[in-house]
């Protein structure tokens, strides 16, 4: 490594100045994120019948705040993030318990904490917290140890506890998303494939047990997905209307602000979960595929950052947040096209809503921090290591 320059050495040690860190940032990724968000602003403008109120203005302000947060997180030393991974996880878990207990005491199922500008949903934040905690755990674990089932008990508990809490809320979609996100981290850490297969078989076997635990509306959603005729005015109707709106958009769409289906209120929640339908109706296949293409660009950045990173913690964090991002996109788009049951998962950077946007921006901030600190050397315990 004699040919590395002055900066490269500091990159390795991680003691960069703020300006150097800013220089190291992937500004092109920030650009793509802004591009997606801008499409979102236009869609919210259209959803409100060509009005900035009530959604576009607020969403733009939130995105601005989110951008500041992204940049701030990107500047934080990755070792600091690693050190506080467990405490952060513990705090979010405590918040999750808090909303659960308050829901029981208050009699209503309120899943959020009101912070004024946004309503904080701990079940969203746990996605990030879990990625960090699992990455920290597997960073310290050698490949051999990863192969031993005993060492999987702790991380499995880290997944299981919040998932049970979210299931109790009850929020099936988020629970599944947390499980899938965590599963990817286990996979990337080197857990053997047959263990996944065993687990999946076990979970399938657990369906008869878990079924009575689901809330009536969740059972309805699953049953309605299997047979949409069951509930012509409820979820089945929404899927049908969503498909009509989407399909009628055709190749080039009906034009901006011209989506009759969305604007005649055939579509439910066209500003949140069904916003992709509106985009596809107004912009057609071309618009929809363009948006998906933008998402794919972000995903490619995520994978590239993960592969370029020199430490396991960073690799796992990068792949974890990228997967979370992917799951948001896939679940939402597949849902509005009737490929999977109706679950309340927003479209990242487009759907109106505070916590999901916050989660996405934290994810992207972490990804960026991994990128900025890609060459830092971290020991097993998180300190300097010249290994």
Partner 1 sequence: MIINRDNDRIRLFNRRAVALGGGQSLLISALIGRMYYLQVVEADRYRMLAEENRINLRLLPPPRGRVMDRFGEPLAVNRQNFRVLIVSEQTRDLAETLDALANVIDMSEYDRDRVQKEVRRRRSFVPVTVRENLNWEEMARIQVNAPDLPGVIVDEGLMRHYPQNQTAAHVLGYVSSVDEDVLIDDPLLQLPGFRIGKAGMEQEFDLVLRGAGGTSQVEVNALGRVIRELERKEGEAGKDLILTLDQRLQRFTAERLGAESAASVVMDIHTGEVLVMVSTPSYDPNAFNRGLTQREWNALVGDPRAPMTNKAISGQYSPGSTFKMIVALAALEQGAITADQTVTCKGYTDLGSRRAHCWEGRGHGAMDMVQAIAQSCDVYFYEIASRVGVDRIAEMARRLGLGSSTGVGLAGERDGLIPTEAWKRATLGESWQKGETFNVGIGQGHVLATPLQLAVMASRLSTGLAVEPVLTRQMMMEDTVRQRPTKPFEVLDFDPAHLAIVRLGMFEVLNGPRGTARASQLKIPGVQMSGKTGTTQVKNISMAEREAGLPDIDEIPWNERTHALFVAYAPEENPRYALSVIVEHGGAASIVAAPIARDIMTEVLRLDPSRKPRINDDQVAVSQPGAPA
Q: Which residues bind partner 1 (CB under 8 A)?
A: 108, 142-144, 184, 187-188, 190, 216, 232-234, 237, 243-251, 260-261, 264, 266, 280, 284-285, 288-289, 292, 295-296, 299, 303, 306-307, 312, 315, 319, 323, 326, 330, 333-334, 337, 339, 387
For partner 1, give the closer residue by CB, 51 or 260: 260
Q: Kindly state the smallest distance separating residue 337's Cβ from partner 1, in Å.
A: 5
DSSP 227: -
Q: Kindly state the smallest distance separating residue 61's Cβ from partner 1, in Å.
A: 25
Q: Which two tokens stand for residue 161?
A: 């506890």
Q: Using CA atoms, how far apart are residues 75 and 332, in angstroms rounded to an integer?
A: 31
Q: Kindly state the smallest distance separating residue 315's Cβ from partner 1, in Å.
A: 6
Q: Kindly state the smallest distance separating residue 128's Cβ from partner 1, in Å.
A: 19
For partner 1, give the closer residue by CB, 101 or 307: 307
Placement of tokens 């078989």 in the chain? 201
Q: Kindly compute the dihedral angle of the four CA atoms of residues 277, 281, 284, 287, in this order, to the nearest 10 degrees.
A: -50
Instruction: Compute the Cα dihedral for 316, 322, 323, 328 and give only its sign.
Output: positive
Q: Kindly state the smallest distance separating residue 66's Cβ from partner 1, in Å.
A: 24
For partner 1, give the closer residue by CB, 28 or 260: 260
Q: Which two tokens stand for residue 297?
A: 């660009």
CB-count exposure of residue 109 (10 Å: 0-12, 13-18, 19+): middle
Q: Which three-class secondary structure state does DSSP give residue 114?
A: strand
For partner 1, give the closer residue by CB, 327 or 356: 327
For partner 1, give the closer residue by CB, 38 or 110: 110
DSSP strands (E only) in the chain: 113-114, 119-120
């Amino acid at each position: 490594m004699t040919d590395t320059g002055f900066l490269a050495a500091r990159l390795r040690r991680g003691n960069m100045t703020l300006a150097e860190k800013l220089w190291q940032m992937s500004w092109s990724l920030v650009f793509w994120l802004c591009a997606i968000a801008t499409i979102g602003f236009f869609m919210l403008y259209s959803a409100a019948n060509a009005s900035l109120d009530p959604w576009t203005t607020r969403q733009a302000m939130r995105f601005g705040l989110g951008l500041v947060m992204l940049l701030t997180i990107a500047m934080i030393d990755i070792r600091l993030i690693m050190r506080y991974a467990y405490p952060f996880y513990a705090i979010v878990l405590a918040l999750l318990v808090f909303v659960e207990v308050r829901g029981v005491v208050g009699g209503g199922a309120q899943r959020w904490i009101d912070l004024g500008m946004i309503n904080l949903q701990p079940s969203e934040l746990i996605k990030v917290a879990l990625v960090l905690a699992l990455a920290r755990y597997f960073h310290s674990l050698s490949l051999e140890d990863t192969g031993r089932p005993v060492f999987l008990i702790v991380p499995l508990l880290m997944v299981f506890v919040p998932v049970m809490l979210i299931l109790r809320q009850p929020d099936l979609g988020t629970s599944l998303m947390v499980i899938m996100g965590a599963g990817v981290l286990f996979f990337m850490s080197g857990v053997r494939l047959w263990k996944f297969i065993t687990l999946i078989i076990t979970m399938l076997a657990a369906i008869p047990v878990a079924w009575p635990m689901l809330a009536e509306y969740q059972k309805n959603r699953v049953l309605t997905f299997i047979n949409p005729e069951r509930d012509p005015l409820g979820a089945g109707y929404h899927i049908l209307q969503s498909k009509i709106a989407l399909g009628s958009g055709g190749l080039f769409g009906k034009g901006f602000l011209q989506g009759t289906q969305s604007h005649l209120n055939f579509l439910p929640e066209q500003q949140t979960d069904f916003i992709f339908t509106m985009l596809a109706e107004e912009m057609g296949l071309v618009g929809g595929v363009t948006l998906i293409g933008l998402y794919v660009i972000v995903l490619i950045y995520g994978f590239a950052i993960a592969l370029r990173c020199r430490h396991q913690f960073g690799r796992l964090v990068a792949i974890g947040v990228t997967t979370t991002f992917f799951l948001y996109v896939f679940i939402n788009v597949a849902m509005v096209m009737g490929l999977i049951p109706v679950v309340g998962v927003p479209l990242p950077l487009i759907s109106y809503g505070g916590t999901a946007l916050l989660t996405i921006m934290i994810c992207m901030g972490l990804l960026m921090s991994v990128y900025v600190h890609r060459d830092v050397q971290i020991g097993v315990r998180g300190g300097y290591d010249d290994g």
